[in-house]
Structure 1
Amino acid sequence: MRVCRYLLLTFFAFLVVTKTQAQPYASKKPAEGDNAERPVVKPAASAEPKREFRGVWIATVVNIDWPSDPHLPVEKQKQQLLDILDADQRMGINAVMFQVRPAADAFYAKSSEPWSRWLTGKQGQAPDPAFDPLQFAITEAHKRGMELHAWFNPYRATFDGNFKSLCTCHITNQEPSWFFTYGGIKLFNPGIPQVRDYIVKVILNVVDNYDIDGVHMDDYFYPYKIDGQTIKDAETFKAYGGEFTDIKDWRRNNVDLLIQALGDSIHAHKWYMKFGIAPFGIWKNARQDPDGSETTGGDSYYELYADTRKWLQEGWIDYVVPQLYWNFGYRLAPFENLVDWWSDNTYGRHLYIGQAPYRAFEPKSRAFHNPLELPNQVRYLRDNNRVEGSVFFSNNSLIKNPLGFTDSLHTDFYKYPALPPPMLWLDSVPPNPPKNLVAQPNALGVNLQWQTPEMAADSEDVYGYVIYRFSDTDTVNLTNPKNILHIQYSANTQYEDQTAEKNKTYLYVITAIDRMKNESYPTPTVAVVPYTTTGK
């Protein structure tokens, strides 16, 4: 039953959430699954970086990752989420993309939209006892040294055609003229200005009321093509098309307007808030545009009306996570070609690569049955200095440890902690170093205490600290992540090192970090010997 349940959830993920893109709706079917003429990729000897984005998607739609059952008691749902975050921490994850708005509904209390049916079993029904999943997730992620990015689906309003089950307070019932039906579901019509204003308002509500680290959106803009169906927005085009003569250009502009408005508004409300998008993996193919990638699959520009490269060029987004859910050498969309293309088109913004451990569970995805496929992908990314990290779909897939890949994260790729890379266009001013570090041995190990730094030059408060530990024979080197003992997202000025061994000499230094993870100079080095077995 457990295996069947997992396969069912993976199937839903394949169809709805991840758009797995095993065959990126191209005209030619790949030979032998997706492993046609796969080249041998030589593993690279990539050093583990101190700065790397290590993300994972936690999908709530159809309960793919959490909660496992919307009818579970609140305490069991909380425990499941704690177990997920604990597992993420063990494997080295430092950022979670937590889905808070799957279909114009909410996994958070401070919302004008109804509670999600995937949380309580019925849309509009609040958790009992009262519980704010987003606030809980933020608090627990930060305790574990992980960022939390609130993941929104901007335009999907329903997941299926059972419209009668929708709460009367649902926006489709409140503003029925804002939607068209396509593929049996209701979607916001992006061409209506009030729709764009509404979506911005929904997202800014979360920005203002929750201590999230980022706003995250996936690839659902205009819908993926379905044969025999048309988008019913001709009347909207007539009303709002303005000087546009081509409805396709107008649709792209509608999405551009939303992304630009969100980028401007999010940063106006909280300058440090990261705004990122995980688009379909292909912008354009080279056969369509010389600036496109060496691929022959579907694309976001012409088929989804999403000009994802433009958003980077214009600086409207802070990071992009193209969903590159294909293997090395895949005939329609080779992983390596797309990594190289995106790395040439970041325009100074951060590039993280969306990777697909779930594909190891697909019977026909033969390339992903090779236990070296995903590790070699990580190595390939690390050999490109314009790639800043990865985001994996999805959390359950990683927890299932596909072909030992999660073990390789824990024991190899993510063996040592990493700070997220800084975004210097948002903030390039580091904090001042902590003051008066004192290290004292005690019965548990070593107690570290220090004082808050002087105010930074940009008057920004300290957000946290990084504690480094060295042996007495080590060179004090802050660039090597193996020396990071603990990354702390709080202003607490005390830490207990309970892993220090007795009778050994240790050297400690501490740095301060700000909200954007800029790091200060270190404190002076402090040496200490934990108590001997005689208690002295």
Structure 2
Amino acid sequence: MRLYKYLFATVLSAIATTVTIAQTVTEAIAQTVAEEDSVLIQPKREFRAVWIATVSNLDWPQNARATAELQKRDLLNQLNSHQQTGINAIMFQVRPAADAFYAKSREPWSKYLTGKQGDAPDYDPLEFAIDEAHKRNMELHAWFNPYRATFDGKFNLLSADHITRTKPEWFFIYEGIKLFNPGIPEVREYIVQVVLDVVKNYDVDGIHMDDYFYPYPVRGQVINDADAFAEYGAGFSNVKDWRRDNVDKLIHMLADSIHKYKPTMKFGISPFGIWANKSQHPDGSNTHGGSSYIENFADTRKWMKEGWIDYISPQIYWQIGNRAAAFDTLLDWWSNNTYNRHLYVGLAPYRFYEARSPAFKNPSEIPNQLRLMRDNPRVQGGIYFRSQTLVANANHLADTLKQDFYQFPALPPPMLWRDSVPPNAPQNFIARAERKNIVLKWSMPLPAADSEPVYGYVVYRFTEGQAFDLGDPENILHIQYNTEPVYVDTNVQPGKTYFYVVTALDRMKNESERTPTVAVSLPAL
């Protein structure tokens, strides 16, 4: 994921010269919102995710040399915190630099896991993370960095079987680190196979890639790909167009390969927040900063238009009203360029810790961004960078989410182009009072029209006089990502009558019709 030190000088300059303006705009918006309702009506469907970064141990594991039990406890603490906050998806970094946080890999174990690249831990972190996320009714997307092969210049510490040692001709050095050369066809095929190792062997809900394609430009640095261009660039007179085509080829290959093996696997990209400025491209945004189309040679808008990716998560890491790259301007631009795919906005609570980002000291900044997102019907949710920031409750954001925006649970939005067939409703639904609880039981539904198995269930509860509205998330009592046909409601009061219905979910979170309503009265004491 893009770290603050890589923000472009043009953007930084504009931020520095417009702090007063940005603060004034943000404060004015906050005052306006304060005069209105606190939050828009909460949606039943919303993607609420957080990035867990493993590179340099940013989020996890906090200690690469800790025992497996301590690392597991560390991850569980983070997952528990996010569950309490209302998060329903985890973007888990499994390949920070041509290494692995999973056992079934062709690449060596990451040094960020065990302290030394190639040394194996006593467990499979990805398998553990998937199981624990699903227990907490959260999706888990495996996050890959596609082209970064090292994160530092300590090449002597790389394991003997690291790809930079076995295939040195595949790489160039830029800003002191080794990067895969995207122009070499064998490189693209290798990266596809790396990703497929996870697709084939792990129960992840999605494949996720960050913004590091071609490297962000650094003054005095040159991309040494002239030889590759000479060998593979036939038909291109401009090396920039060739580079852009190289990345297009990788994304297209990945989309085809991922969905060949698992048609319902989600595939998403998190690019830099600006696709292109209007000054660079007639279809660009009214912004003035670095852009993925020009600097990274990543035509993310094309990938959406072609249907190669299922969602995009642009890192809109600026405040509302920023002169160079305003959050509100970019939100509107991206929402107008989704081509009926999902838009999950990348949000930047980490900037609260930056002295040079005073706008993010305002506790209303990100809540106001969330309000703008919810007011836009083409936005399906957001992803927070990063995990430890939310766990630390920076600027009281986790409290705000828990108590306000994410007060009620939400299901991830369905992707009808992947799967539009819902499961059938559960059968033989019964409920009865047992001691101080109410026990609900049901049977598996009949097979769905597409024969896809049931993945989980949603339990709704209503009380006397309450509208039976399954579209209101306040009525969701329980969401589960397993097929156990039972639930025990322990939050009940003697002498009250409760009404229950249950629906079934498939893997893409399509929801069935409801069961018949069952009423249960808990005897008075």
| TM-score for both structures, normalised by structure 2 | 0.96
- 1:78 match: secondary structure: helix
> Which residue number in structure 2 is paired with residue 119 of structure 1?
113
Matches within 5 A, 1:99-498: 99-127=93-121, 130-498=122-490
Equivalents in 2 of 1:209, 1:50: separation in Å? Answer: 31
CA contact (8 A) 1:35 1:367 kept: yes
C-alpha offsets along residues 32-81 of structure 1, whole Å, 9 cap, x if unaligned? 46624122223264111000000000000011110110011110100111
CA drift at 1:18? 2.3
- 1:222 match: secondary structure: coil
Equivalents in 2 of 1:388, 1:310: separation in Å? Answer: 20
CA contact (8 A) 2:140 2:205 kept: yes
Q: Counterpart amino acid of 2:262?
A: K
Equivalents in 2 of 1:25, 1:285: separation in Å? Answer: 15
CA contact (8 A) 1:513 1:519 kept: yes
C-alpha offsets along residues 194-213 of structure 1, whole Å, 9 cap, x if unaligned? 00000000001100000000
CA drift at 1:86? 0.4
CA contact (8 A) 1:438 1:448 kept: yes
- 2:440 match: secondary structure: strand
Matches within 5 A, 1:40-119: 40-41=28-29, 42-43=32-33, 45=37, 46-119=40-113
C-alpha offsets along residues 259-294 of structure 1, whole Å, 9 cap, x if unaligned? 000011100010000000000000110112221101
Q: Counterpart amino acid of 1:363?
A: A
Alpha-carbon RMSD across the aligned residues, in angstroms, is 1.3
- 1:177 match: secondary structure: helix
Matched, 1:20 2:14: no
CA drift at 1:402? 1.6
CA contact (8 A) 2:11 2:324 kept: no
- 2:395 match: secondary structure: helix
Equivalents in 1 of 2:291, 2:8: separation in Å? Answer: 8
CA contact (8 A) 2:391 2:398 kept: yes
| TM-score for both structures, normalised by structure 1 | 0.94
Relative to structure 1, is the Cα distance of residues 307 and 352 closer, same or farther in structure 2, using a 3 angstrom cutoff?
same
Equivalents in 1 of 2:46, 2:66: separation in Å? Answer: 36
Q: Which moved more, 1:233-242 or 1:29-38?
A: 29-38
> Which residue number in structure 2 is paired with residue 14 of structure 1?
none
CA drift at 1:27? 7.3
Equivalents in 1 of 2:337, 2:115: separation in Å? Answer: 43
CA contact (8 A) 1:57 1:393 kept: yes
Equivalents in 2 of 1:319, 1:25: separation in Å? Answer: 29
Runs of 5+ in structure 2 lacking a partner? none
Q: Counterpart amino acid of 2:64?
A: P
- 2:50 match: secondary structure: strand
Q: Counterpart amino acid of 2:322?
A: Y
Within the candidate set 23, 30, 40, 2:14 is matched to 30
C-alpha offsets along residues 130-156 of structure 1, whole Å, 9 cap, x if unaligned? 200000000000010000000000000
Runs of 5+ in structure 1 lacking a partner? 1-16
- 2:4 match: secondary structure: coil
Runs of 4+ in 1 over 6 A off after TM superposition: none
C-alpha offsets along residues 502-529 of structure 1, whole Å, 9 cap, x if unaligned? 2211000000011110101100110002
Relative to structure 1, is the Cα distance of residues 300 and 36 closer, same or farther in structure 2, using a 3 angstrom cutoff?
farther
CA contact (8 A) 1:103 1:153 kept: yes
C-alpha offsets along residues 169-206 of structure 1, whole Å, 9 cap, x if unaligned? 10000100000000000000000000000000000110
